């Protein structure tokens, strides 16, 4: 793949500029104006930005380390659940059952006291680190055993999906203490600010854009470093890299854990903007769809997955609003045609067009 150095500042500028423009048109123009951006567009943009962070996290492990993960939905959801636990504690006595300690769903199923693992989530300074730490611990524990056992290829992909599916089934249970099938919803505010305010939704969208830019710069710095060059060597020739004396398992473990942290942050930003978190976020289909975002944009480019996340989810919004019965067919078509016609995704197409232009 060509180096897309010139596109990096353009991409970041477009993301931040579009976010600021949407925010300005939402807050500074009257609702009756033709250029006013409605609230649902702000929420949709914020959701897409969270998906772009998640796609970037997947590209780190798949595009640069060659690990096709089909389980990042678990890390995304765990970060979301940590944020959801904080938001539920923020409700306090304003819930349906007016219990200052227990969330409504716990009161409904007859719980008498708050589980130990909910302690501390009434403080944002505790909840925010947990949105990264919990996914990171799970990723580290999983990666420690998987990579040291030299599980790779399709077998690793299947195991990551099995892990996500097992977590989904566990979180469906009411006795887990996470809301069961319904999950967590009806959030009131975040750090004391009502979530139903236009300014709150706009602020969350802008924060998501800022986090995406920061995550991009971190990923770019990592992939350009010596560490990143070793990752690429692991992807392209793992056995040869191991014979040269590099601890391949350690490199995989580090990037897999960091990727899980990024996915957890994406989930934490996602929950207050969509207003709900439930086990459905861990469904195998969701994790496969996430990999499609990266494939469509172009793995191993960092920029491509961001574009892919926006493109695929934009198409999803269009089809589900206008032709809901055809969305899954369209998604399946993408899944089949992209590897055949665009093996390097949108960024590969840009590279091909650029080379043809330079040769003429």
Q: Share the mean pLDDT of the chain.
A: 91
With a cut of 80, say whether residue 224 has pLDDT above it.
yes
Tokens of 337: 């045609």
| For range 223-230, the mean pLDDT | 94
How confident is the model over 257-266, as pLDDT tens digits? Answer: 999 999 999 9
With a cut of 50, say whether residue 1 has pLDDT above it.
no
Domain containing residue 277: 7-359
Residue 1 within any structural domain of the chain: no
Residue 194, beta-bridge partner list: 189
- Output the DSSP codes for 132-185: HHHHHHHHHHHHHHHHHTT--HHHHHHHHHHHHHHHHHHHTSGGGSS-GGG-EE
**How much is the pLDDT for 240?**
93
- Output the DSSP codes for 33-56: STTPPPHHHHHHHHHHHHHHHHHH
Residue 2 within any structural domain of the chain: no
Tokens of 20: 């600021």
pTM: 0.94
| For range 126-139, the mean pLDDT | 97
Look at the block and give the residue holding tokens 């909910």. Answer: 118
Tokens of 280: 């459905």
How confident is the model over 189-201, as pLDDT tens digits? Answer: 999 899 988 899 9
| For range 271-298, the mean pLDDT | 93
Q: Model confidence at 2, in pLDDT bands (50, 70, 90)?
A: very low
| For range 37-61, the mean pLDDT | 95
User: Using CA of residue 261, residue 66, residue 297, residue 60, what is the dihedral sign?
Assistant: positive
How confident is the model over 3-32, as pLDDT tens digits? Answer: 555 666 777 788 889 999 999 999 989 988
For 123-144, give one letter per residue: b (16+ CB within 10 A) or e: ebeebeebbbebbbebbeebbe
Least confident range of 74-88, 91-105, 197-211, 344-358? 344-358
Residue 200 within any structural domain of the chain: yes
Tell me if 205 sits within 8 A of 23, measured CB to CB: yes
Tokens of 120: 């501390």
The CB density around residue 39, as the number of other CB atoms within 10 Å, is 14
Pairing outcome for strands 184-185 and 276-277: antiparallel
**How much is the pLDDT for 3?**
53
Strand ranges (E), 252-302: 276-277
Question: What are the C-alpha distances in Å from 273 to residues 151, 195, 267?
Answer: 37, 8, 10
Tokens of 138: 């799970």
Strand ranges (E), 19-150: none
| For range 135-163, the mean pLDDT | 94
The CB density around residue 206, as the number of other CB atoms within 10 Å, is 19
**How much is the pLDDT for 272?**
96
* Tally of domains within the chain: 1
Question: What are the C-alpha distances in Å from 214 to residues 111, 201, 255?
Answer: 41, 20, 17
Calpha distance 270→278 (Å, rounded): 12
């Amino acid at each position: 793949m060509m180096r897309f150095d010139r596109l990096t500042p353009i991409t970041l500028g477009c993301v931040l500029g579009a976010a600021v423009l949407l925010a300005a048109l939402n807050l500074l123009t009257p609702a009756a104006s033709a250029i006013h951006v409605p609230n649902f567009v702000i929420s949709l943009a914020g959701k897409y930005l969270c998906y772009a962070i998640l796609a970037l996290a997947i590209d780190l492990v798949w595009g640069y380390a060659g690990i096709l993960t089909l389980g990042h939905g678990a890390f995304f959801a765990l970060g979301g659940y940590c944020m959801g636990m904080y938001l539920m504690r923020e409700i306090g006595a304003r819930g349906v059952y007016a219990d200052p300690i227990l969330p409504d769903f716990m009161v409904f199923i007859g719980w008498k006291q708050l589980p130990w693992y909910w302690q501390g989530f009434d403080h944002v300074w505790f909840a925010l680190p947990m949105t990264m730490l919990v996914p990171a611990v799970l990723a580290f524990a999983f990666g420690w055993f998987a990579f040291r056992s030299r599980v790779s290829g399709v077998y690793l992909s299947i195991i990551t999906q099995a892990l996500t599916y097992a977590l989904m089934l566990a979180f469906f249970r009411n006795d887990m203490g996470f809301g069961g099938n319904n999950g967590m919803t009806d959030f009131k505010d975040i750090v004391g600010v009502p979530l139903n305010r236009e300014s709150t939704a706009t602020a969350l969208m802008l924060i998501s854009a800022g986090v995406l830019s920061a995550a991009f710069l971190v990923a770019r710095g990592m992939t350009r470093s010596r560490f990143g060059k070793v990752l690429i060597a692991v992807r392209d020739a793992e056995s040869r890299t191991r014979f040269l004396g590099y601890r391949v398992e350690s490199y995989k473990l580090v990037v897999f854990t960091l990727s899980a942290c990024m996915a957890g942050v994406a989930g934490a930003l996602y929950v207050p903007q969509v207003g709900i978190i439930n086990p459905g976020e861990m469904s195998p289909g969701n994790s496969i769809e996430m990999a499609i975002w990266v494939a469509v944009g172009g793995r191993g480019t960092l920029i491509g997955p961001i574009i892919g996340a926006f493109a695929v989810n934009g198409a999803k919004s269009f089809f589900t609003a206008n032709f809901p019965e055809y969305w899954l067919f369209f998604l399946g078509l993408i899944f089949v045609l992209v590897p055949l016609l665009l093996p390097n995704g949108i960024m590969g197409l840009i590279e091909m067009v650029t080379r043809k232009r330079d040769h003429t």
